[in-house]
Amino acid sequence: MTKNRQRQLTIVLISFGIFTSGLFLLSFLKPLMQDEGVFLKIASGLNDGLLPYRNYFDHKNPAIYYLFAAFLKISTSAVSLKIFLLIVNLGSIFLIAKISSTLDKKAFYPALFLSLLTFTFFEGNFLITEPFGIFFLLLSLYFYLNDKSYSFHLQNCHPRPDRESRKIRDKSIGWIPNQVWNDRKNHPQYFSINNILIYAPFLSGLLACIAFLFKQTFIVNSAVLAFFYFKKDKRSFLDFSSGFLTPLLALILYFAEINILSPFFNQAYVLNFTAYPKEPFFYAVKKLSFTFLQTFPLWFLFILSFSKKIREENIFIFYAMFFAPVLLFLTRHYPHYWIQVIPFAIITAAFAVTKIYDDKKIFNLFVVITTISLLISSIWFFKDMNFNIKKLKEEKEAATFLRNLPEKKMIAENKFVSFYFLSDKEPVNKYLYLTEITDSESGEEKTIDYLKKNPDTIIVWTNNHNLAYAKKLQKYILKNYEIIKEFPELGMVVYMPII
C-alpha cells in the first residue's frame, strides 16, 4: 500500500470518527430513564444509611449502587453523573481501540469509529450497569492479552533454560535464569514491561469479578476468559480464579455481616431468573432491527471477518467473548444488553478493515455503506434529539414542581422512577417499581394498602393508561385522586387526593 493511499484511508476513517463523536456526545442530552432512576435512588439511600435488597427491592448485582453512592458524595448533579459516564465510555472505547491495535496497528482508527457509532445507538449513554461492567471486562481482557504477549515475548527472546538454572519463577511460562535478570544491559527487553503484569492473571480475574458484580450475565464472559487461561497455563488459571473469588467472597461476607445476603440472593438470582417472562424472539428482533440498521457498517465488517482471507486463530477469543452470552439477549429487546458483547464484534470488525485496505472494491463498498448508514441514522438521531431536549427541559420543571410540594412520600409509575432521585421524595415502601418480579411479593397490593391508610401521597403517573403495568393501583388512583399538574412532553401527570 502506498503512503498516499494510506493517508487517504486514514482521512476517511477519521472523518467518520469525527462525525460519530458528535452524535455520541449529543446522545447524552436526554432525560433519565427507569433503571437510571432506580440505581440513583438506591445509591442516595445508601448514603443515608439505607440498604439495597432490604430497604429497596431490586434484581441487579450491587456494584452499581456502591459506585453511584461514592460518586454522589462528590456531586448529586445529574449532569456530573453523565460526564462521569462519558469518561467511562471513552475509557472503554480507548481500550477497544488499544486491543484492536494489538492485532494490527492500522486497526486503531477503525475501532475508534465503530465504537463511537455503536455506543451511541446501543444506549451507551445510559447510567446503567452495562457501560460500567464492560469497562472492567475490557480491562480484564487487556491484562489477559498482555500477559499472553509477555509470555510469548520471553519464550521467543530466550531458550528454555535447563533445570539447574531455573531460579526465578514466572507465573506464565515457567522459569527464567538469574543471569538474565541480573544483566539488564544485555537483556533490556525483560525489564521494559511494567512489573504489574507479573500479576496479570490475578488482576484479570479481579476485574472480571467486578464486571460480574455489575451484572449477572458477565459471568459468561468471565467463564470464557477462565477457559482461555486454563488452556494456556494451569497456574495462570488458578491465579485468575483466585482473583475472581477474592472480591466475591469479600462481598458475601460483608452482606452476611449486615444481614442482606438472603434477600440479595432471592431478588438478584431466584426472582430475577424465574419471575420475568421471556419476550417472543421475533418481537425482540423487530424491536432491535432499526438499532442494528443504524450500526450496519459494524455488522457488515463483522460478517466479513469470518472469510478465509481475514479469519485468523488469534481472533477466536473475541468470537467466543461475543457469541457465548448472546443467547441470553435474544429474548429481550433492550439495545443496551448488547453493550456486553459489541466490543468484541468491533475488535474483529476493525481487524477486517485492515485486511480490505488493498481491495479497493470491498473498501469502497464499505465506505458507501457507512456513508448511507450514517446519513439515515443521523436523520432519525436529530429527530429523536429534538424530542429529548424538550423532555429534558420539562424534566427539570417537573423535578422543581415536585420538590416544592410539602408531602414527603410519593408513588411513581415505572416510567418516572427517576423523580424519586430528582425530587428528593421518598417511596412509600421498598418497591420503586412494580413489574412481574415484584408481583412475587405482592408489591402492588402492599402499595394500595399504604394509600388507603395514607391518602396524602403524591402520585406521579403516565397520561396513557394503557402503558401502566400496575392496573389495580391505577384504578384506585383514578377513583380517589385528581390531576393537579400535567407535563405533556414527558407524558406525565401528578395526582393528589380528591378533596
Where are the chain's structural domains? 3-30+77-153+202-381, 393-497
Q: How far apart are CA 1 and CA 329, in angstroms?
A: 41
Q: How confident is the model at residue 5 (pLDDT cuts 50, 70, 90)?
A: low
Q: How confident is the model at residue 192 (pLDDT cuts 50, 70, 90)?
A: very low
pLDDT at position 147 over 90: no
Q: How confident is the model at residue 198 (pLDDT cuts 50, 70, 90)?
A: confident
Place of cell 481475514: 310
Helix (H, G, I), strand (E, B) or coil at 455: coil
Listed in sequence order, the residues at least 6 apart from 177 whose beta carbon sits closer than 8 Å to its beta carbon are: 158, 161, 165, 166, 167, 168
pLDDT of residue 194: 53
Sign of CA dihedral 223, 224, 225, 231: positive
Q: How far apart are CA 105 and CA 99, in angstroms?
A: 10
Average pLDDT over residues 199-207: 93
Q: In whole numbers, what is the pLDDT of the chain averaged over residues? A: 88
Of the listed ranges 132-141, 143-152, 285-294, 452-461, the least confidently predicted one is: 143-152
| CB atoms closer than 10 angstroms to residue 368 | 10
Q: How confident is the model at residue 142 (pLDDT cuts 50, 70, 90)?
A: very high
Residue 448 CB burial class (10 angstroms; 0-12, 13-18, ≥19): middle
Which amino acid, one-letter code, is at 396? K
Residue 444 CB burial class (10 angstroms; 0-12, 13-18, ≥19): buried
Cell of 482: 385528581
Cell of 58: 431490586
Q: How far apart are CA 404 and CA 381, in angstroms?
A: 34
Q: Provide the phi-psi class of 279: left if phi over 0, else alpha when psi is between -120 and 50, else beta.
A: beta
Q: What is the pLDDT of residues 424-482, one digit of tens each?
A: 999 999 999 999 999 999 999 999 999 999 999 999 999 999 999 999 999 999 999 99
Q: How far is CA 358 from the centre of its chain?
A: 35
pLDDT of residue 24: 92
Q: How far apart are CA 472 and CA 462, in angstroms?
A: 14
Quote helix, strand, coil % in the chain, to nearest 5.
70, 5, 25
Average pLDDT over residues 382-386: 87
Q: What is the pLDDT of residues 219-268, one digit of tens each?
A: 999 999 999 999 988 889 999 999 999 999 999 999 999 999 999 999 99
Cα 80 to Cα 83, 116, 135, 344, 496: the distances in Å are 5, 21, 19, 29, 32
Helix (H, G, I), strand (E, B) or coil at 473: helix
Q: What is the pLDDT of residues 280-324, one digit of tens each?
A: 888 888 889 999 999 999 999 999 999 877 777 788 999 999 999
Q: How far apart are CA 229 and CA 41, in angstroms?
A: 39
Average pLDDT over residues 28-46: 95
CA dihedral 208, 214, 218, 221 (to 10 degrees): -20
**Contact assessment for residue 403 and residue 390, using Cβ atoms and an 8 Å cutoff:** no
pLDDT at position 153 over 80: no
pLDDT at position 165 over 50: no
pLDDT at position 186 over 60: no
Cell of 47: 448514603
Of the listed ranges 148-157, 194-203, 385-394, the least confidently predicted one is: 148-157
Cell of 300: 457488515
Helix (H) or strand (E) holding 481: strand 481-487
Cα 373 to Cα 291, 337, 388: the distances in Å are 11, 22, 22
DSSP annotation string for 368-413: HHHHHHHHHHHHHHHHHHHHHHHHHHHHHHHHHHHHTSS--EEEE-
Average pLDDT over residues 391-395: 95
When comparing pLDDT for 363 and 219, which is higher? 219
Closest CA to 157 of 190, 200, 179: 190
Cα 319 to Cα 222, 251, 306, 431: the distances in Å are 14, 31, 10, 39
Q: How far apart are CA 20 and CA 18, in angstroms?
A: 6
Q: How far apart are CA 157 and CA 171, in angstroms?
A: 17
Which amino acid, one-letter code, is at 230? F
Which amino acid, one-letter code, is at 179? Q
Cα 194 to Cα 146, 150, 197: the distances in Å are 10, 10, 6
Of the listed ranges 80-84, 127-131, 170-174, 287-291, the least confidently predicted one is: 170-174
Q: How far apart are CA 405 and CA 320, in angstroms?
A: 53
State the angle between helix axes of 234-257 and 218-232 in degrees (0 to 180), rounded to the nearest 10: 150
Residue 79 CB burial class (10 angstroms; 0-12, 13-18, ≥19): exposed
pLDDT of residue 1: 54
Q: What is the pLDDT of residues 82-125, one digit of tens each?
A: 999 999 999 999 999 999 999 988 899 999 999 999 999 999 99
pLDDT of residue 161: 46
Compute and round to an integer the Cα radius of gyration of the chain.
26
